[in-house]
Amino acid sequence: MPTRTLTEEDARRAEARWAEYQRAHDVSLLAGQTVGIDPDTGRLWFGESIPHVVSLRDADGIQVPLHFVRVGSGAYYRKGWHR
């Protein structure tokens, strides 16, 4: 089965779907959780980490690439740190 990688356009669509979800739902209690977003359908999986979200997606029998966001954060990863 060929694998598909996410494009910049996929990421933009996923971010738009996430913004739409946040307008309709209070996600404040989910701060720090990871959300995996299917950019095509808008389906969301919430979990403790990327591997956890992927295992939830796999358990649903779905094999699509996901865009990941940490709830309440502007970035999922931060590179480096300053003292």
Say what the pLDDT of residue 33 is. 96
Any domain includes 17: yes
Residue 62 phi, psi dihedral angles, 5° rounding: -110, 135
Say what the pLDDT of residue 73 is. 84
Say what the pLDDT of residue 4 is. 80
3-state SS of 14-79 is HHHHHHHHHHHCCCHHHCCCEEEECCCCCCEEEECCHHHHHHHHHHCCCCCCCEEEECCCCCCCCC
Any domain includes 76: no
Query: pTM of the full predicted structure?
Result: 0.84
Any domain includes 82: no
Any domain includes 49: yes
Any domain includes 46: yes
pLDDT tens-digit profile, the chain (83 residues): 447 889 999 999 999 999 999 999 999 999 999 999 999 999 999 999 999 999 999 999 999 999 999 999 876 655 455 55
Any domain includes 77: no
Any domain includes 75: no
Count of domains in the chain?
1
Distances (CA, A) of 78 to 8, 30, 55, 60, 75: 19, 20, 24, 30, 7
Question: Under DSSP, is residue 8 helix (H, G, I), strand (E, B) or coil?
Answer: helix
Q: Is residue 37 within 8 Å of residue 67, measured between CB atoms?
A: yes
Q: Which domain holds residue 58?
A: 8-21+32-70
Say what the pLDDT of residue 1 is. 47
